[in-house]
Amino acid sequence: MKHLKIIFNALKGVFTVLFLSSVTPVVAVEDVDVAQMDSVEISLLTCEPHDEVYSLYGHTAIRYHDLREEGVDVAFNYGVFNFRAPYFTLRFVFGITDYELGAYPYRLFLREYRHFGSEVIEQVLNLTNEEKFQLRLALAENLLPENTVYRYNFFYNNCTTKARDIIEQCINGRVEYAGFKTDTTTYRNTVHAMTKDNPWSRFGNDLLLGIKADAPTTMRQQEFLPANLMRDFDSAKIIENGFTRPLVKERRVAVPGGVKIIQAGFPLPPLVCGLILLVVGILLFLLEYRLCRSFLLWDILLMVITGVFGIILFLMLFSQHPTVSLNLQILLLNPLPWFFLWPVLKGRKTRYWPVTAVLALLFLLGGLFQCYAEGLWCLALCLLLQSYIHMKRCTR
């Protein structure tokens, strides 16, 4: 939704004034104000993913629709961000990204997904007039300049969980969700299901996610994904004073699914690249073993590959994302090669290869506890073979 940032900034003041014009403390609101909510529908909007990287997992928004002729039709979107903001990517990696709540015409919101061919499902919520009014007040408060920005976290505080939380807090009584058999799946498996057609995005996720992403999750934790929250809303009930009513009273297709434009990526998936690397490594190992020597260029290539990715994983140790702080892949991918690159270039004996062999073995053992990015075990085997050549004291 980044290209809607300009529209959002232009219209934000208009809708803030519109919603704040009648906002007073709830205890002071006359009955007639609440009664007017009869003409209002509030819905959860769930948008199908499309090919843009920021939408691989779908999107969630809230629709406020006054059915009167002079009424308003607004989409409230907690997923507004400015991709051109200074150091956006770096801040995102370190978990210090700020997102905003945007409010703009519903038709503009739909245009975004109609353009990409993504289906949009609308679930009309079964709220009382008082609950609708409370939600109106809460959204208006969130639109205030001091409240509109929030600290984004992909798993714990994103555009989907923000929409869920503000809806729940405005409901009298409690929301009860039905359980599903997928309650014990992990964050990693949930993400895998959304990136099955994007192997390199999946590789990047698996590279950054640590061992905590392989822990079982609850149904509520899985609601960070829009499709999961939509599923749970369908079966949810509101329980108030012994009475039960469904949370969703009607489900509509706001935008039918269309033709999606899929941009071609790198033709070879990560696993195939890893296997090619391993085949090359085995062939070179056999040749090195026969000649009792090592090939400098192959040594340097392996050190550069592990060193570059190692810097990334080392930096992730300082990220505020809880699921990346403990990553066993750092046993294989770490900055260590950069400290030994010069001695290796000069042909000196170093402790790099014995240390690398131990770390590679620990990495393979760690695979029992953490799911690794595809192809990394191929790199680990290449390093083990090369370490054997060096520890056998073959010379160039």
The H or E element containing residue 151 is strand 149-151
Q: Could you list the mean pLDDT of each consecutive 10-residue stretch along the chain, which spans 396 residues?
A: 42 44 38 76 92 76 89 90 65 76 92 89 96 94 91 90 96 86 78 87 92 92 94 94 93 83 75 96 95 92 96 87 89 96 89 96 96 96 95 66
Return the pLDDT at 265. 67
Are 306 and 332 a contacting pair, CB within 8 Å?
A: yes
Domain chopping of the chain, boundaries? 2-180+219-255, 270-391
Cα dihedral 139, 144, 145, 147 sign: negative
pTM, rounded to two decimals: 0.83
Distances (CA, A) of 367 to 91, 329, 379, 388: 29, 9, 14, 21
Name residue, tokens 């205030």.
Answer: 144
Q: Is 374 in contact with 199 (CB distance < 8 Å)?
A: yes
Query: What is the separation of C-alpha 47 from the centre of its chain, rounded to a whole number of angstroms?
Result: 15
Count helices and strands in the chain by DSSP H and E runs: 14, 10
Distance (Å, whole) CA 230 – CA 220: 12
Beta strands at 120-125 and 98-105: parallel, antiparallel or unpaired: unpaired
